[in-house]
Amino acid sequence: MKLVIAFLLLAGMLAIGVNAGNEPVCSYRNTQGETIFLKYLPLLKQGQDYVDFGVDGKCVKRAVCSENFKTEVEDCGKYHVTCGNKKTFNGVFPGCCVKC
């Protein structure tokens, strides 16, 4: 009887581990050619983001994982960032699009 219970517990833990490995993710290929995997966090209703920096230290793009697991990419060209208005933006992106 104890052996059966132990077997069922082990099988349950394996099933949980398999489900954890099957989480849907978003992917983004950065400027260096690396694939970056991002998750959507349903409890926070927020996707992870990745800011892609070029070799000059300025950021180029921002990738965000959406609720339907699609990668949404924002380009620096979408924002008109200058050294004067850089501090009016919240967070790293798009303020990192210019070097002052």
pLDDT tens sequence across 13-46:
544 444 455 678 999 999 999 999 999 999 999 9
- Going by pLDDT thresholds of 50, 70 and 90, the confidence category of residue 11 is low
Residue 26, both tokens:
């978003």
Helix (H) or strand (E) holding 36: strand 35-38
Q: What is the pTM of this model?
A: 0.71
